[in-house]
Structure 1
C-alpha cells in the first residue's frame, strides 16, 4: 500500500508513489504544450514536458495521472512540501480576512511577525531590521541599494559562476551569459567580478582562494570604492559549488576591515535547505545583510533583506518597499512554513536526506568515472558530470541523464555554468522510500547511457 499525504486541509490525499500511466508526456500534456506554444512567449521555457495537476509530499501528479518523484521542489521553493497543511490553512484563513491593503498604506501584523522571525533566525545576535519584497532578484537589488546608501560608495563585487536574478542589476551580477544575459544589455554599471573558490576545479585551499579573490578586488576595484560584496554561500545555478573551508570567513573579515557590506544571497540555500536555517551557519559567518526568498513561503511570492539595524536603516522613509512586498497571503504562508520547519523537525530531516543522497551518489561516483564530483549540504546536493579522461564538463551527458530520468518519472534539474551538473533539491517531506526509488532510477539511467 502506498503512503498518502494530504494536499490540503480536509482535501484529497496523494499516493506517495512513482506511477506512469502514459508515456511522458501524455496526451493531455501534449495538448497543453501546443496551447502554450501559441499563447506564451518562447523565452519562458520549461524543464519538464508535463503539466502539473496536483503535488504534495514527494510527488507531482500531472494532468494525465502520472505521478512523478519530485527532486526539484520547484527550484528549492516547496521545501516543506507542496500545499503543506499548515500553509494551506493559514493562507485560506488570511484570504477570507483580506488579500491586500499594501503594507505601506495600511500595515498588518503578519508582515511585522515575519520580520521578527527573520531577525531572530538569520546569523548573528546583533540588532536587525527586515524589509519584505516579492522575488529573490528584487531582494538582491534592494540589498545593493541599502549597502550603497549606507556606505556612500557605488561599486559591487560578485563572483564567478554567480546567479542573482533577472532584473537589470541582478543580470549584471549574474555570471552566466546564456540564457540569462545574452541580448538583454546594457547592464547596470559599477559591477565587478572576482574568482570564486571552486575546490573541484581550482584545487586551492580556502585561504589561497580568498587571497586570490581579495587581490583581484583590491587591484581592479579598490576597497575605497566598494559598497558591497555579494556572494551565495553555496552557489545555486552556478553548480552547487561549496567554497573551500575558510574562504567565506576570510572574505567577511576583509569586508569588515574595509567598510564593505558583506551580502549573503541565501535565496536558494536558506530556510532549512542545507540542514541549517542558513548555509552561512556551516562556517559560522555572520553576514551584514542576508537575502531570503524561495523556500520561505512554500510557493507564495515572498523575499526579504535582513541585516544590521544601522545598515538597514540607512535608506530613508519611502526608500524601500513595493506594492505587493510582504503581501498578506505570502506572510501568512511564511509564518506557517517556519512553524512547519520547527514542529516537524525539518532541519534534522534535511541532514538525513543529505546523508542518503551523498551516500548513494558517492557509490555511483565510485562505479562511474563520468561522475567527477559529488558535493553539497543537506537537501542541496549535486553531481558534476565530466569526460572521464579529461575532466572537461559534459553538458550533453547531463542533459541525456535528466531527460531519461524525466521519462522514467523522476524530476531532476540541471545547472552549472557549463550545464553539466545534476542538482537534487527534494522537498523535506519526501520519504526515504521515494528518495531511494528515485536514486535507483538514476542508477539505471547511468547504466543505460554509455
Structure 2
C-alpha cells in the first residue's frame, strides 16, 4: 500500500466526474461521508481515484478490522471464486458454511452446544434472532434500549432508537417493540457510579409493569452501543438484565454486529463482564469486507424453528464464507485482540491529553479499537455540541484523516481504525485530530 498522506485530501477531477455520474444514477437517499471515490485500500490507508490518501479511522464502519485487502481473505475468497460463486446453501450445501458455523461455535461466549444460521447483513441477523426467539418462547414482545441501533429493515427500524436519519418518514413500524432505559453513565442523572444499578432496576420495573415479563420473547442489546454513541453500559447493567431474562424465560440477545470480532480487545464485548447471551448476532468484522452475518446461539433455541423457516437465497454465500475463514485466521495469527488493546492504550492516552487542553471533550469512552469522544458546549451542563463534531470531522477530512460521527445527539466522534494499523500511522492520525481541535 502507499505511504501515509502528506498533503490535504481534496476532491480531484476523477472523483468529481464520478460524483456527477453518481448524482445522475444513484438514489439521493444513499449518503456518503466523503465524495471521494476509492481506488484501493489496506493497511489503514484509503487511496482515491485521484491519488489522494486518507488515514482510515472508520474501517468501513468496523468492517475491515483485518484490513481492506487482508492476504488470507483475498487468498481464500479468490480460491473459492475459482471453484463456484453460488449454489444456495438451501439447495446444495457446501463445506464453507459449515466451517463458519463451527468457528462461531468455538469463538462465541459459553461452553454450551451452539448452532448458527448465516445471512447477508446485520439487520437480517437481528431480524432472524427475533424470529428464533419468538418461535422458541411462543411469545411476541421484544424489549430494546434507549440509544440502541439494530438496522434499517422495518422491524429493525422499530428496534432502533434514533429517528433521523434511520426512521424518519418510513413508518408505520412493526408492533410489539418496547424501549427501556440504558445505563448511559456520562449522562445518568445521579452519576455514573449509580447508573448500572439504577438503570437496570428501572428497565426491569418497566418491563414488568408495561409489558409483562411473561409476554417477552427477547431482550436485545448492544454490549457497547454503536450508532448511539459508543456507550458502554455502566458496570453491572448487562449482568442484571441477562439474569432477569434467564429467570423469566426470555431470550437474551447480544447484538455484537459492530463490537464483535476483536474490535473491543476481546472476541466479543459481552465477555467483559462474563455475560453469556442466549443468542449473539454478528456481521461487519466477520468476513473482512464481504457481506456475511450470523445468528449463533444455544442449540435448543436455534433448533426451535421449523425446517425451512430460516434462510435466504444468498445467506452464507460461499465466497463470503471463505472470506470469513480468512478473517478469523488473520485475527488469530496476528492476535488482533492484543492489537485492539494496544490501540486503546495509545488512543486514550492521546485523547486524555487533548481533553486537558480542550474542554469541548466531555467524555472519552469505549474499549479496544472502538473509542469515541463526546463533545459538549460546556463540561458542567454537558449540553451536546453536534456543531463541533461536524466541524472537527470536516477539518480531519481536509487534512487526510477519515473519521465518523455518531450519537443520539450527533455530538460524538467515533474512531474505528483497522486492528492492523501501524502505531506510527495511528499517531499520525491523532496528530491530525489534535490539529483540528486547535483550529475550531
Find the counterpart in structure 2 of residue 326 from structure 1.
316
Q: Specify every segment of 5 or more residues in structure 2 that has no aligned partner in the other structure, as ranges.
A: none
- Cα offsets for 1:360-407 (capped at 9, x unmatched): 111111211100000000000000000125311111110000011001
Secondary structure at 2:143 match in 1? strand
Find the counterpart in structure 2 of residue 353 from structure 1.
343
Find the counterpart in structure 2 of residue 237 from structure 1.
227
Mapping of residues 293-372 of structure 1, within 5 Å: 293-372=283-362
Secondary structure at 2:162 match in 1? coil
Please report how far the alpha carbon of residue 42 of structure 1 lies from its aligned counterpart in structure 2 after TM superposition.
0.5
Moved over 3 A (4+): none
Please report how far the alpha carbon of residue 200 of structure 1 lies from its aligned counterpart in structure 2 after TM superposition.
0.1
Contact 2:376 2:383 in 1 (8 A): yes
Q: Is the counterpart of residue 179 in structure 1 residue 165 in structure 2?
A: yes
- C-alpha distance in 2 between matches for 1:371 and 1:304: 36
Q: CA-atom RMSD, angstroms?
A: 0.8
Mapping of residues 278-297 of structure 1, within 5 Å: 278-297=268-287
User: TM-score, normalising length from structure 1?
Assistant: 0.96
Find the counterpart in structure 2 of residue 211 from structure 1.
201
- Cα offsets for 1:95-147 (capped at 9, x unmatched): 00000000000000000000011011110000110000000000000000000
Please report how far the alpha carbon of residue 205 of structure 1 lies from its aligned counterpart in structure 2 after TM superposition.
3.2
- C-alpha distance in 2 between matches for 1:24 and 1:43: 24
Question: Pick from 245, 265, 269: which aligns with 2:259?
Answer: 269
Secondary structure at 1:205 match in 2? helix
Q: Is the counterpart of residue 434 in structure 1 residue 434 in structure 2?
A: no
- Cα offsets for 1:4-56 (capped at 9, x unmatched): xxxxxxxxxx1241233x75212211221111111111100100121100001
- C-alpha distance in 2 between matches for 1:308 and 1:16: 46
Find the counterpart in structure 2 of residue 396 from structure 1.
387
- C-alpha distance in 2 between matches for 1:93 and 1:112: 17
Mapping of residues 2-13 of structure 1, within 5 Å: none
Secondary structure at 2:2 match in 1? strand
- C-alpha distance in 2 between matches for 1:412 and 1:19: 17
- C-alpha distance in 1 between matches for 2:291 and 2:83: 19
User: TM-score, normalising length from structure 2?
Assistant: 0.98
Contact 2:389 2:405 in 1 (8 A): yes
Q: Is the counterpart of residue 76 in structure 1 residue 62 in structure 2?
A: yes
- C-alpha distance in 2 between matches for 1:395 and 1:440: 22
Q: Specify every segment of 5 or more residues in structure 1 that has no aligned partner in the other structure, as ranges.
A: 1-13
- C-alpha distance in 2 between matches for 1:215 and 1:183: 31
Find the counterpart in structure 2 of residue 146 from structure 1.
132
Q: Is the counterpart of residue 226 in structure 1 residue 216 in structure 2?
A: yes
Find the counterpart in structure 1 of residue 34 from structure 2.
48
Contact 2:184 2:195 in 1 (8 A): no
Question: Pick from 120, 127, 133: which aligns with 1:134?
Answer: 120
Mapping of residues 28-47 of structure 1, within 5 Å: 28-47=14-33
Contact 1:242 1:375 in 2 (8 A): yes
- C-alpha distance in 2 between matches for 1:418 and 1:175: 12
- C-alpha distance in 2 between matches for 1:191 and 1:345: 39
Work out the number of aligned pairs and report it. Answer: 435
